[in-house]
Structure 1
Amino acid sequence: MDRNSITGLLLIFGILALFWWMNKPSDEEMAERKRQLDSINRVEQLRAEEAAKTKEVEESKEVAAEEIEKQTARDSARLQAAGILAPYIRGKQEFTTLENEEIKVTLSNLGGRIYSVELKQYETHDGKPLILFEGDNNRYGFNFTYNTNIYNTNDLYFDVKKAGSNSVTFEITGPNRERLAMSYSLTDDVHMVEHHIDSRNLGNKFATPRNAIDLEWTQEMPAQEKGRQFEQQYSGIYYKFFQDEVDDISGTGSDSEDLRTPLKWIAFKDQFFSSILISDDKLSSGFAESTALEDENSPFLRFNKAEAAIPFDFEQNDDAAMRFFFGPNHFYTLNSYEGLDLHEILPLGWGIFGWINRYVVIPVFNFLDGFIGSYGIIILVLTIMIKVVLFPLTYKSYMSTAKMRVLKPQIDEINEKIPKDKAMERQQATMALYRKAGVNPMGGCLPMLLQMPILIAMFRFFPSSIELRQESFLWATDLSTYDSIVDLPFNIPFYGDHVSLFTLLMAVTNIFYTRINQEMTQSSAQMPGMKGMMYMMPVMFLFFFNQYASGLSYYYFVSTLITIGQTVLIRQFVDEKAILAKLKANQKKPAKKSKFQARLEEMQKQQAQVQKGKGKKPGKKK
């Protein structure tokens, strides 16, 4: 290519470049063009999405139409199979209220059951109405078979037939005078609700297994008190075997029990209130399960479930008569129902402990309640009365300890004369001294043992006494639960997140009492570490009782304080020199041995000879 051709090409390229530069769009024109293209793309995308959505909706409509058609067919078949139950499969829930001065019972036509129960004379610890249960937290009904299908009364909308201001009947009826009815009525007893299940002309339609209604009752038990752990410990399921004893599933754990023998009643028991189903005849058998809810923030304490077989024959137009008790766990209220043993739901203790509470503590407590308005003062007076009654035992225990104490120098002499390796000989000499002086080494223990049933009975009484609930005294706002003077921002294991002053005072007084006892009981050598162990007990009480009812801690505090006062008072009037002189005079008298003492000494001598024989070294053989 020659020079002119190259020059021409360069000129053409330059002209084209100049033309492009002069005609290229500006940045604003480029941005506008980009916006136009984006808008076109967005419109096309929206059209595509709309088309896809329209297609999806049309497909969904087709599927829904098919599903509705299938569901309609199923419902139609179900309603056709339901027969006389068809009008009761669907409906609107309606409520009816029965009320007296003590309880307010709300009932629902859905299931023909009790929907909620309010105890009008009581409140929760935070001042709210006390509701035993409400809504689906309480379910009560039974299964039955009709036209080979299984139905549950909880799923049926009953007709409401209110017979009066204090009664209501929920019923299912058929064209041929068929009838299934659940009726409830308040009685003259303010805590009882009568309940009947009856049937008419259903023998060839309804069926139940074993000619019995398998009644199922479940309930989530709400927390009502301030101390959750304490309330949970005293809640659970109780039941009475027909013409037999009362048993229970309670405590902080969970458990279940097959009840294969007939029952009279089943109770869902909270610490201070209960819901109890009582059969006028008997429940053939049952099952009980109580599950403690571990979530500390849950408004419920337990999930209780009870199943009971009620004899019922649709062929015989049967009628099952029962009663519900909704009320407080008050001893005299529960004990007023003769033959039912409802008071056994109160954990007053077994054997002698329960007898002391039923026949001594509770009558005296209620007697004082008629004259004294403050329950703190009642506990104080009750404690003084108990300590006065027990004073002879306290005095006898002190005198026995005093006799042992004044004989200590003579016992020390025996220990110096007889070496430690001859323990049996030491014991024989010591017992001989006691026998000559007329001292019973067990004399101080027996009076203390006789006082233990009362101490244990009071331990069972206070947490079960609804009389103390929400009753204040001094700084304690509720004697039925712990008194907190300081709420800690953290939780101490085995202690809690608060400081109970009555428990603290009880522990301090027990430390002082332990010190006094240590000074009084130096007549014999203590086991190694026993002194420290005795001081550990009040510290253990501090941890153990911090969650307990303040009324109980207050009682033990006052009781220990009075015991200290009695001990100091007795010490002022007892002359230990005179006691020692009398014991020395007894030692000079000829000792009379009982047959038991003679046999005991003979056994001790034989044992000493055996030990002496074992101590000899075998001789050498010749």
Structure 2
Amino acid sequence: MGKKSVFTFKYKYGFIGLILILLLTGCATNEPIDPESANFFEHYFILPFSIIIKYVAALLSDNFGLSIIVITLLIRLAIMPFMLKQMRTSRDMQKKMKALKPELDAINEKYKGKTDMDSKMEKQQEMQKLYQKHQLNPLSSMGCLPMLIQFPILIGFYYAIRRTPEIATHSFLWFNLGHTDLILTGLAVLIYFAQSRVSLIGMDEKQKKQMALFSFISPIMIGIVSLNAPAALPLYWAVGGLFLIFQTIISRKLITR
């Protein structure tokens, strides 16, 4: 029970966070960022990224496509140590919870069918004593810190792409960064679907079944938003999704050593 609730919550939390980001950004303004009227978040997160995008593009002969790719990779690399630490913590917690399973099952069996408040309180106390005995804190595996760190950064960069008008005046590869591109949208959807499937590797069959629906949600949401957005945004998602696949594969090799 403990293992299921902790890791299911963490996995769902990540997808729900992504969905909230997509919904919020889908309703965001496309007005160019204005340093004079910028609020706190705009001034300290969106505006700096807009300046960085234009600066890096200038270094790359006004190639805004490459600028978005470079900055996306740098952001993901900066966040990667936090994500790897969280993954290692989760893996260690999973091993400990597996070792505790017989004792947890015994407690669950002891209070099976008892729904009165006193029994629930006693069960909770016994489980807390068991965790204390083994110096275990299930909440520590939920990995909120890396998510709290990355959300404002990624949202800020997302808004900066939308609200930097210079981007829309340039092309990259076969598409115009300011126009919707169906091919790039399809690639972003496929990449995020592949990433969601890779993230299921190593889970037991029960967890895979529980998370199966969530592996479709983020690609669908990204596809819906990208169909009504300039190509610069699915470019950003495609690069980020490829990096997440790479990060997941590398992390599993490092953590399982």
Query: Does TM, normalized by the shorter one, top 0.5?
Result: yes
In the alignment, residue 194 of structure 2 is paired with which amino acid? F
User: Is 1:557 equivalent to 2:231 in the alignment?
Assistant: no
RMSD: 3.3
In the alignment, residue 362 of structure 1 is paired with which amino acid? S
2:60 to 368, 372, 383: 372
Residue 188 (structure 2) aligns with? 506
Structure 1 residues 199-210: aligned runs within 5 Å: none
Residue 357 (structure 1) aligns with? 46
Q: CA deviation at 1:512?
A: 2.2
- Counterparts in 2 of 1:430 and 1:539: CA distance versus 1, 3 Å: farther
2:148 to 443, 449, 454: 449
Q: Deviations over 1:224-263 (max 9, x none)?
A: xxxxxxxxx88xxxxxxxxxxxxxxxx7xxxxxxxxxxxx
In the alignment, residue 464 of structure 1 is paired with which amino acid? R
Structure 1 residues 51-62: aligned runs within 5 Å: none
Give the secondary-structure state (helix, strand or coil) at the position aligned to 1:355. helix
1:466 to 165, 184, 195: 165
Please give the alpha-carbon distance, in whole angstroms, between the structure 1 residues aligned to 2:85 and 2:184. Answer: 30
Structure 1 residues 206-285: aligned runs within 5 Å: none
Q: Please tell me whether the aligned partners of residues 178 and 230 of structure 2 are also in contact (alpha carbons under 8 angstroms).
A: yes
In the alignment, residue 247 of structure 2 is paired with which amino acid? Q
Q: Deviations over 1:259-311 (max 9, x none)?
A: xxxxxxxxxxxx56xxxxxxxxxxxxxxxxxxxxxxxxxxxxxxxxxxxxxxx
Please give the alpha-carbon distance, in whole angstroms, between the structure 2 residues aligned to 1:511 and 1:434. Answer: 39
Give the secondary-structure state (helix, strand or coil) at the position aligned to 2:200. helix
Please give the alpha-carbon distance, in whole angstroms, between the structure 2 residues aligned to 1:394 and 1:559. Answer: 14
Stretches of structure 1 that go unaligned for 5 or more consecutive residues are 1-232, 235-250, 252-270, 273-328, 336-340, 345-349, 484-499, 577-622
Larger radius of gyration: 1
Please give the alpha-carbon distance, in whole angstroms, between the structure 2 residues aligned to 1:570 and 1:429. Answer: 31
Please give the alpha-carbon distance, in whole angstroms, between the structure 1 residues aligned to 2:51 and 2:230. Answer: 21
Q: Deviations over 1:508-537 (max 9, x none)?
A: 2222222233335659x7699554144323
Q: CA deviation at 1:383?
A: 0.9
TM-score under structure 1 length normalisation: 0.32
Q: CA deviation at 1:431?
A: 7.7
1:433 to 116, 119, 131: 131
- Counterparts in 2 of 1:413 and 1:393: CA distance versus 1, 3 Å: same
In the alignment, residue 243 of structure 2 is paired with which amino acid? I
In the alignment, residue 364 of structure 1 is paired with which amino acid? I
Residue 539 (structure 1) aligns with? 220
Residue 519 (structure 1) aligns with? 201
Is the strand fraction higher in 1 or 2? 1
Q: Please tell me whether the aligned partners of residues 353 and 454 of structure 1 are also in contact (alpha carbons under 8 angstroms).
A: no
2:93 to 399, 404, 409: 404
Give the secondary-structure state (helix, strand or coil) at the position aligned to 2:51. helix
Residue 82 (structure 2) aligns with? 393
Give the secondary-structure state (helix, strand or coil) at the position aligned to 1:548. coil
Residue 72 (structure 1) aligns with? none
Q: Percent identity?
A: 20
Q: CA deviation at 1:387?
A: 1.1
Is the helix fraction higher in 1 or 2? 2
Q: CA deviation at 1:555?
A: 0.7
Tell me: higher relative CO, structure 1 or 2? Use CA pairs within 8 A at least 6 residues apart: 2
Q: Please tell me whether the aligned partners of residues 356 and 454 of structure 1 are also in contact (alpha carbons under 8 angstroms).
A: yes
In the alignment, residue 149 of structure 2 is paired with which amino acid? L
Please give the alpha-carbon distance, in whole angstroms, between the structure 2 residues aligned to 1:404 and 1:480. Answer: 45
- Count of residue pairs brought into register by the alignment: 220
Q: CA deviation at 1:370?
A: 2.5
Structure 1 residues 337-356: aligned runs within 5 Å: 341=36, 344=38, 351-352=40-41, 354-356=43-45
Q: CA deviation at 1:411?
A: 4.3
